[in-house]
Chain A
Amino acid sequence: MLLTILTILLPFGALLAGWQFDGKSSDNPDGASLAPGLALDLQGGTQVILQAVTSDGSEITPEAMEEAIGVIRQRVDANGVSEAEIAAQGERQIVVEIPGEVDDETVALISQAAQMKFRPVLTIGNPTAQPSADPSASGDAAAGSDGEAANREGAGDVAAANEPTKKEIAEQEKAIESATDPSDLAQITPSVQAAFDALDCTDPKNREGGGGDHPGRLLVTCDQTGAAKYILGPVEVDGTDLNSATSGLQPGPNGTVTNEWGVNLDFNSEGTVKFRETTERLTPLEPPRNQFAIVLDGLVVSAPSSNDPITNGQASITGSFTRDTAATLANQLSFGSLPLTFDVQGQNTISATLGSEQLQRGLFAGLIGLALVVVYSLFQYRTLGLLTVASLVVAAAMTYVVIALLSWGMGYRLSLPGVAGLIVAIGFTADSFIVYFERIRDELRDGRSLRLAVQRGWSRARRTIYAAKAVNLLSAVILYFMTVGGVRGFAFTLGLTTIIDVMVVIWFTHPVMEIISKVPFFRDGHKASGLSPDRLDAAPYRGAGRFAGPKPDAAVPADAAAPGRERELVSAQSVPPAPRVAEDGRRMTIAERRAAERKAAAEAAQNEEKH
């Protein structure tokens, strides 16, 4: 019992604590608040416009845009149940609408291409540009590599002025083809060397990254931090060969956990084989050729040296990660890279897509409906109806608190479909009580005492309630994991209310029912209790084949009047009601009643035949 109360009170306590110690404010938008967060359609949010750009002149196809939308949606969904809206606008823009304030972390999450590739390191150099021996060569040799940061950023940069000419590409591809393996230094053509010499990694413009580097060619690029520049061989392992990516603190050399954040990679079987072959080849080479570079969106994240061949398909990336950036990268890698590169073009707040005034009117109307529910259950179950209402109030309070907690903990946002789910949940929740009360009444009709009726009614009702709720929970779980966007939010609400509903029935409604079944008002079946034997036609057993019933004199006139009035309402199959009181005013035994019933039925049949 104590445990029960604790379980119910725990969320309340957690929310209050969160509100006190991690309060929501303008500088802490993720903090706890006593009011649950609202979704885009109810509260508005931020609109981020992404413009697709291509680095290597490839075309922006509708298919690629569609794929990009899918990937962005998965990334947003993995971040919580916030129900973002994502749509293509025009031919090369994507509009992402996210509820509430948006921080830079989130913008990075949705807009970065996250194309990860593993390339062998051929040369490492100091980050600054080296004066080329032949200045005329540096101009056209600019980009032996393609698509890397230096090329795109253009203006003012020595290295980036020109696209690589076809001749240079052909020359380079020939060099790669004739190379013995991807670590072969013979692959570096003069044009690549020139681009490498000219690249200045101290210029932040060259460290902005961008996808689209050609996997089959060399890449000249910078370290993310600008500490070094590299010439890298062709791609050996692709980010698409990943099974999953997770973020976490990295273990140190002797098994201790360091406080350095990193991303753990788990390759699929194909990736494992490729990765093993690569590390096996690199290990015996001389530095820096024994290093492999992890390239993200054209920039080197880290370039660890390979000391032992890695055969189990597990790798980790460390670098200058914080907890948030590691989590973001893991999320991006898990759902694949964007097929296109996007620039953030604008970021604006937008108002709620549904009129807030209209919503208030609608909810007011819903409240009227709720008041009617209270009236109806009082009419149906008299005083017992108050227990329904109290249980609904408890369920509502718990739902509210849990939603507020979840909007603090995992960014849950209440949307209109969510609200609708909650309103329908009133029906689901109330049904558990109705099933329970009806079972109790059935037991009372069979002549059991209230205490026994509650006991037996509960064990029968429980089974029905569990089975029916199991179907609901099943649907919620399946829909949650298989769908995206709004349907997911709905499934979440449905599952949540189902669990809360079962908790309330077990831990509130049933214990209270057990308690009130001992209160004389209910136990003795007061007229207004909703459990009166009189209303329920119950005949409490007194022993020796006798039933203690309502006073005979009260029952007689009603029963006597009954057959005549009921006759026309009774359908063809019904058995005419028999008197329940014998001639001497004593209440009949069951056997006597049955006999009388049969007699009455036979007479009725005969009468009908005569007519």
Chain B
Amino acid sequence: MARGGFAQWGNDLYTGRRSYPIIQRRGLWFSIVALFSAASILVLVFQGLNLGIDFRGGSEFTVSGASTTDEDVALEAVASVAPDEEPHVSTVGADSVRVQTTQLDNQQTDQVGEALAEAYGVEASEVTSNFIGPTWGQSVSMRALWGTVAFVVAAAVFMAIYFRAWRMSVAAIVAMLADVLISAGVYAVIDWEVTPSTIIGFLTILGFSLYDKMVVFDKVRENTVAVTEQTRSTYGERANLAVNQTLVRSINTSVVALLPVAGILFVGGFLLGAGTLKDISLSLFVGIAAGALSSLFLATPLDVALREREPKIAAHTKKVMDLRAGLVAEGADESVLAAAASGSAQLVPGHHQGHSAQPRRRR
């Protein structure tokens, strides 16, 4: 990078002196997203999500009159029988310990009961086992699902009205769904247990993804507000300039949002062994990264692809291209073409300013 490093790079992006052809290469991004989405669907269909106790219910063991209420003892006891389990252990009252696991078969249930009795130094009869239903049952899931659907529809309507272009809102929603799908796919591949925290994490991704798309699209809107009133650059080129101009902001925002989550995931989850936070931090980490990337590489190109089908924009694009072809045929200065195509010559047609151009009257 040239002098001034990141700041200089930002300057070049802003002026259009340096420009990455993000919109122009949209076929590439679309195929990458399609590939990841297809892989995610395959993983979700064939492997599925590993739903935890809160969703499926499971077995509950209660140890009464335990000599100690140390929770690690129970974790070890369960691990000795079923190493894959991640039991929930809590102390009930003064000297009882409650251990919840996913549904075990009869033999395992007996073994876990014995192991717990031994670990806590009580008679086997002091350990009772029972079936516990899901705290996050079907009805809770349905409510959450409908709430999410309502919110996405409302957000889509809001965006369509705000940008005055339903295609923009469709692009944003499709990109957001792709983010959530890919995040879920990554979660399924890693095969960690899905907990209510994970679901909350996915909802957060949804919110963040839409938020980020709003910010990027607002820049696109700003750059293309009078696009049909000039003939130097097309809608796609203006949008590309917007993506380039917002690149610095996107990088800064994602870094700032990812740093705390990454801290919890990598330092907390892997180095210090804080297992209870790893589910939510993983879903957040993947989701935020995907959300920020897709605003630039999926949502905006998708928007351009859709908007170029709009008759007004299509006619304008054709007009600009024809003019440009005419210029080339006339042997015009190629640099003019290059400047126009990169969007660097950001012309906003002048207009009469009326009173606002006059000096303010002194009082």
Contacts and interface: CB of A to CB of B under 8 A. Distances in A.
Interface of A: 44, 47, 66, 69-70, 73, 85-90, 95, 348-355, 358-359, 361-362, 364-370, 372-373, 376-377, 380, 416-417, 420-421, 423-424, 426-428, 430-431, 434-435, 438, 441-442, 445, 460, 463-464, 467-472, 474-475, 478-479, 481-487, 490, 494, 534-537, 558, 561-562, 565-566, 569-575, 577, 597-602, 605
Contacts of A487: 140, 143-144, 147, 199-200, 203
B203 A442 contact: no
A558 B3 contact: yes
B238 to A, nearest CB: 14
Contact of B90 (A44, A421, A460): A44
B264 A483 contact: no
A441 B137 CA distance: 51
B211 A575 contact: no
A89 B208 contact: no
Given A417-B197, A424-B284, A479-B148, A474 B154 contact: yes
Given A349-B92, A599-B335, A490 B204 contact: yes
A574 B200 contact: no
A430 B197 contact: no
Contact of A467 (B214, B245, B280): B214
Interface string B318-345: 0000000000000001111011011010
Given A88-B57, A479-B203, 6 more contacts: A420-B201, A435-B249, A475-B154, A478-B154, A535-B8, A605-B334
A571 B8 contact: no
Contact of A90 (B130, B135, B158): B130
A368 B264 CA distance: 8
A430 B256 contact: yes
Contacts of B102: none
B255 interface: yes
Contact of A597 (B197, B215, B249, B335): B335
Contacts of B196: 417, 485-486
A369 B6 CA distance: 22
B268 to A, nearest CB: 3
From A372, A431, A572, name the one whose CB has the most chain B CB atoms within 10 angstroms: A431
Contact of B140 (A442, A445, A470, A485): A485
Given A66-B139, A87-B133, A427-B253, A573 B21 contact: yes
B256 A434 contact: yes
Nearest to A577: B17
B259 A416 contact: no
A358 B275 CA distance: 7
Which of A351, A469, A494 is most buried by chain B, counting CB atoms within 10 A of its CB? A351
A472 B249 contact: no
Contact of B335 (A464, A468, A537, A598): A598
Most buried by B among A90, A472, A486, A534: A486
B150 A416 contact: no
Given A470-B158, A486-B196, A490-B204, A353 B88 contact: yes
B303 interface: no
B130 A424 contact: no
B58 to A, nearest CB: 10
A475 B11 contact: no
Contacts of B268: 361-362, 364-366
Contact of B11 (A445, A482, A602): A445
A11 to B, nearest CB: 24
B162 A467 contact: yes
Contact of A598 (B88, B207, B259, B336): B336
Listed from nearest, the 8 A-B pairs whose CB atoms lie closest are: A427-B257, A369-B263, A601-B335, A365-B268, A88-B133, A482-B147, A369-B260, A362-B274
